[in-house]
Amino acid sequence: MTSSRALLEAEGLTRRFGGLTAVKEVSITLAPGELHAVIGTNGAGKSTLINMLSGEIAPSAGRLRFDGIDATGWSQPKRARAGIGRSYQRTTIFPQFSVIENCRLAAQAALQRPWQVWQAAQACARSMAIAHEALEVAGLAVHAARAAGSLSHGQKRQLEIAMCLATAPRVLLLDEPLAGMGPEEGERMLALLERLRNEHAILLVEHDMDAVFRVADRITVMVNGAVIASGAPEAIRSNPDVQLAYLGDAFSDGAMHA
């Protein structure tokens, strides 16, 4: 399944927690311009997979390549600096700071090196410019001066993505960006994903099947830590193994037939 265009390539990624194998030999590729969704029932191993790709937890086995280079041993900060950005299921903003300040801090953290203190002023102007651009892309420019804590739930999730964009990522690992959103907020987020897909390699973990089947170019299905199918949405929709795995679950409510 490895493509020559792939920016991030995981091969045989495995993670064990004691006697439990949360992720079993998962191979997955992310390419620029492609939105790759990973779906699976609760506990299938999706977050553990994202955590291994972002470097938050180490794999028990398997390899990771970023832009053709072995990145398996890279720390999370090193991966972030290289261009692997992620958003979280939980909100990670500073509520008392303004929207633009949250974004600027994310940009600054990505730009600054501790030994480059003499460049602080220059870096500050640069990080502010990056922050404004990220807010523009994320559709939050009009809210720049507001306290981040006063944003709606959906706007906070948009801000998290803007903060991620402020670190200039090439890969975006998005963990349930639609969670807790109403229909209008969800549509805004989907429109944002459509805008981001051209410039980034995106991994989307999402429970909203309607959304996944609408926006994904490729869908990988996990069950009990293992991949049972991976392909274009139409192929996944008609895959008997997937239908069996989801029988009586997420797909039985008609989402698979949307």
Ligand X SMILES: Nc1ncnc2c1ncn2[C@@H]1O[C@H](COP(=O)(O)OP(=O)(O)OP(=O)(O)O)[C@@H](O)[C@H]1O
Which residues sit at the interface with ligand X, rule CB under 6 A? 17, 20, 22, 40, 42-48
Residue 242 CB, nearest approach to ligand X (Å): 15
Distance CA 121, CA 239 (A): 56
Give the span between the Cα atoms of 213 and 142, in whole angstroms: 31
CA distance 12 to 2: 12
In the complex with ligand X, the residue whose CB is nearer, 40 or 55, is 40
> What distance lies between CA 8 and its chain's CA centroid?
13
Strand, coil or helix: 248: coil
Least Å distance, CB 225 to ligand X, is 7
What does the alpha-carbon distance between residue 141 and residue 147 come to, in Å, rounded to a whole number? Answer: 13
The CB-of-81 to ligand X minimum distance in angstroms stands at 25
CA distance 229 to 221: 5
Closer Cβ to ligand X, 101 or 176, answer by number? 176
Q: Give 46 or 197: the residue with its C-beta nearer to ligand X.
A: 46
Q: How many CA atoms lie within 13 A of 128 on its CB side?
A: 8
Q: Which is nearer to ligand X, 26 or 31 (CB)?
A: 26
Identity of the residue, 28 or 138, whose beta carbon is nearer to ligand X in the bound complex = 28
Q: Please identify, using beta-carbon distances, which residue of 184 and 241 lies nearer to ligand X.
A: 241
Q: Least distance (Å) from ligand X to the CB of residue 59?
A: 13
Compute the least distance from the CB of residue 44 to ligand X, in Å.
4
Residues whose CB is less than 8 angstroms from the CB of residue 110 and which lie 6 or more positions away in sequence, other chains included? 80, 81, 166, 167, 168
Alpha carbon distances (Å) from 256 to 87, 187, 199: 26, 19, 28
CA distance 161 to 184: 17
If the CB atoms of residues 64 and 107 are measured against ligand X, the closer one turns out to be 64
Cα separation of 6 and 10, whole Å?
10
- As measured in angstroms, the least distance from the Cβ of 20 to ligand X is 6
Q: Minimum CB separation from ligand X for residue 205, in Å? A: 7
